[in-house]
Amino acid sequence: MTTRFRNCAVLALALATFVQVDAVSVVTQGSISSQALARVGHPLTPGSAAGVARRTTRRTIRRTSVYVASLPAGCVKTSVNGTTIWHCGAKYYQHTGSKYVVVLVN
């Protein structure tokens, strides 16, 4: 026996011990698997409802790099997608630690 043939035989034998195929089901059902393995609608797929909702929430409020120590006068506390923000005139602020950050609401 050549070394290459022996290595192929050992590999085939090793694979045969780990892979078990029911020959009758392959002939009658036409498939090795008894269940469909496609997972349509997982939250991370682009077209799923959960994926769209996640991206909408993520893109609704964006923080800027502008911080203020206190809010201007006349601010109203509001909620956008479950996140508490302060609406002050034309700007929105979100509380973070001891400061407030200017956020953009789309």
H or E, element range at 17:
helix 3-18
| Local structure of 88: helix, strand or coil | strand
Max CA-CA distance within the chain?
A: 90
pLDDT digits (tens, 9 = 90+) for 1-52: 588 888 888 877 776 666 665 555 555 555 555 555 555 555 555 555 555 5
- State the pLDDT at residue 50: 58
Domain of residue 78 covers 3-27+36-105
Tokens 């002939």 belong to which residue?
27
CB neighbour burial string for 46-60, b if at least 16 within 10 angstroms, e if fewer: eeeeeeeeeeeeeee
> Which helix H or strand E contains 76, and what residues bound it?
strand 76-80
The sheet carrying 76-80 orders its strands as 61-68, 99-105, 91-96, 83-88, 76-80
pLDDT of residue 29: 57
CA distance 64 to 76: 20
Domain count for the chain: 1
